[in-house]
Amino acid sequence: MKHLSLFIVILGIFVSGTGSAEVPRHDRELAAKQALRDQALRLKYAASDRGIAERARKSDEAAKIANLLDGTSDDHCFDKCMDACQQGGGGGGSSQCWNKCNNDGYSLSSCVSSCGINSDASSNACWARCKKDGYSVSSCVSYCGVNFASASEACWNKCEGDGYSVSSCVSYCGTGTGYGSAACWKKCQSDGYGLSSCVSYCGIETGHGSEACWGKCEADGYSLSSCVSYCGTSTNYGKQACWKKCQKDGYSLSSCTSYCGTN
């Protein structure tokens, strides 16, 4: 029901966001067309994602069995390496810890327990090992997290590589980092979604999101008022893009100030 009522929500955003009495007819028609197409895409990708998730579940089971057979999966540290394990929070210490843990043949779960994932270096090492062991993106997120830039990048790369749609990748990897936001917008447009859906999936809080939103809004042919409603002017890029489009569309100084602000 959420997506079936999307067009009504879009119109509400238009009116409240601009203060305009009427949304341009062209924008209403474009939004309606994109909303219908997006609903069809969601159904298509949901079915595809279910199939991918089932194959991933079977792959995870095989990887876990392999780890149980390595003879070390129940150990949580390794001989003569306590210092490295305890110092796993730092860049150098955590990298050395992960290198030794991998070289000594311990399982992924043991290396996570011993070396941690609380630095960019350790998180990156975890993702590299997780993908090497054949785990799914869901399991890798569980083991390694997505709290660092390298982890966010690794997650989005694996999610897209595994064939998931943007909705699943957002659920797994998030959009909290600059890379995550940029990857989401790129994937959303690649999947064929309209502007409203991409805003819903990816957000406009980051500079990457604001830039992608304004770029797509103009490319899709929306008016200035609609672009302000969708993409906002809270970022420096958004404010600059608004002024550029406002002047391009031939509005007066007073109107541009009203749409785009001055600060």
What pLDDT does 89 receive?
A: 46
Joined tokens for residue 14:
């238009």
- H or E, element range at 43: helix 25-68
Position 231 in a domain: no
Residue 100 in any domain: the answer is: yes
Mean pLDDT computed over every residue of the chain:
83
Residue 211 domain-assigned (yes or no): no
CA-to-CA distance for 130 and 64, rounded, in angstroms?
11
Cβ-count burial 53-74 (b if 16+ within 10 Å, e if not):
eeebeebbeebbeebeeeebbe
**Tens-place pLDDT, residues 186-199:** 999 999 999 999 99
Do 115 and 94 form a contact (C-beta atoms < 8 A)?
Answer: yes
- At CA 233, angle to CA 232 and CA 236, rounded to 5? 135
Residue-wise pLDDT for 212-237, tens only, equals 999 999 999 999 999 999 999 999 99
Query: Is position 175 within any domain?
Result: no
pLDDT band per the 50, 70, 90 thresholds, residue 23: confident
The helix/strand/coil state of 115 is helix
Distance CA 241, CA 148 (A): 29
Taking the CB of residue 21, how many other CB atoms lie within 10 A of it? 6
**80 vs 156, residue with greater confidence:** 156
- Average pLDDT, integer, range 245-263: 93
**Residue 5 clears pLDDT 60, i.e. is over it:** no
Q: State yes or no: pLDDT of 13 exceeds 80.
A: no
**Mean local confidence (pLDDT), 115-131:** 92
Buried b (16+ CB within 10 A) or exposed e, 202-227: bbbebebbbbbbbebbbebebbbbbb
| 72 falls within a domain | yes
Average pLDDT over residues 73-94: 48
Given this model, what pLDDT does residue 173 score? 96
Going by C-alpha positions, the residue among 239, 173, 196, 231 that lies closest to residue 2 is: 196
Token pair listed for 153: 């990048």
pLDDT of 73 strictly over 70: no
The structural domain count of the chain equals 1
Assigned domain for 77 exists: yes
Query: Measured between alpha carbons, how far is 25 from 120 in angstroms, rounded to an integer?
Result: 49
Give domain status of residue 92, yes or no: yes
**260 or 85, which is more confident?**
260
Say if residue 201's pLDDT is above 70. Answer: yes
Domain of residue 91 covers: 58-145
Model confidence over 157-180: pLDDT tens digits?
999 999 999 999 999 999 988 899
Residue 255 lies in a domain: no
